Homo-oligomer: A and B are copies of this chain.
Amino acid sequence: MTGGEVVVETLGSKVLKGNPLGDPTRREIAVYLPPKYDPNKRYPAAYAIVGYTGTGKSLLSVDPLGEDIKSKLDRLIRTGKMGPMIVPLPDCFTRVGGNQYINSSATGRYDDYLRKEVIPFVESRYRVGRRGIWGKSSGGYGSIVQGMLHPDTWQALADHSGDSCFEFCYIPDFPKALAAFREHGGPKGWLNWYWRQPNRRREEFFQPLNTLGMAAHYSPNPRSPHLGIDFPFDLETGEWRPEVWARWRAWDPVNMVERRWRALRRMRLVYIDCGTKDQFNLIWGARTLHAKLEGLRVRHVYEEFEDTHSNITYRYDASLPLMWRALAR
């Protein structure tokens, strides 16, 4: 069965040089090229950004009970659900477990990296027309935030089960994160210990890793002794710190949209979906976002589906053809 091709290239970053976590500046980027790719033609490009604890290439994982991204794109194109499209899969993984795709003094300037280095790199090699950005979870978050911040860069976005309504998706993890930090002498001690573990996907690691990562993105503070990060709770007693939480809230899409809706109006596609049983409670953020976009008269596609946050790559069947249409027409 002839299909497209995945090319893996390597990109050296200047933006990430000297990043505070010591993460690599040379990064692989996998690029899906559609079947019969013709270097003389121009194609729409749908940049994929992935969820926390993943990297671009994670989307390529083979699953005999499911469908990897290459098989999916091949099939959607072969069956006429969409036309040919380039799909770059950049690597934005960091030592705090992933990326929210924004600039932060505690992680690095990944927003800049994405727009000022990944895009030029890809588009110097492949002829790209309009650009979209899409992803799930942190990748969904990054997509809608990129759309709100950079309407000149992106013409379409798809936010699948993206982080939002932070009270419901993050706060429930805090007590377990607090306990883990405390046990290991603080977030820095925990992170060092964490990276020495042979199995870093134990369930009980998720809450401290995710909490640490989110704080690194939303409330960095170069003067903090805790990896340059402020936390919305006292690390010893757990006392709530409303002033830090307010900084997180400023990055919540349901709040950002009130300032940034004009950017979204400029998109050719704003696609949002979420599972009604999302175990991170993201359905409430999706509903709030949907209601606000309605109120602000921002045209968008909104879907709910009966599933959780896990193993829902089949949802890309709904968004990718719409994205292709939005970018190609």
Measured CB to CB, the residues of A under 8 A from B are: 53-55, 57-58, 60-66, 91, 93, 97, 165, 167-168, 171-172, 174-175, 178, 198-202, 233-234, 236-240, 254, 281, 283-285, 287-288, 290-291, 307-308, 310-312, 314
Chain B CB within 10 Å, residue with most, of A172, A199, A202, A236: A199
Across the A-B interface, the 6 shortest Cβ-Cβ residue pairs: A238-B284, A61-B61, A172-B172, A175-B281, A198-B314, A201-B311
Q: A66-B200, A288-B234 are contacts. A167–B240 as well, Cβ < 8 Å?
A: yes
State the CA gap A145–B97 with chains docked (Å). 39
Q: Is the CB of A57 within 8 A of B62?
A: yes
Q: Is the CB of B237 within 8 A of A284?
A: yes
Q: Is the CB of B240 within 8 A of A65?
A: no
Q: How many copies, total?
A: 4
State the CA gap A240–B307 with chains docked (Å). 23
Q: A60-B62, A198-B314 are contacts. A288–B55 as well, Cβ < 8 Å?
A: no
* 21 residue pairs from A and B, CB less than 8 Å apart: A53-B65, A54-B64, A58-B64, A61-B61, A64-B91, A64-B93, A165-B240, A168-B175, A171-B172, A175-B281, A198-B314, A199-B312, A199-B314, A200-B311, A202-B308, A237-B284, A237-B287, A238-B285, A238-B288, A239-B291, A240-B254
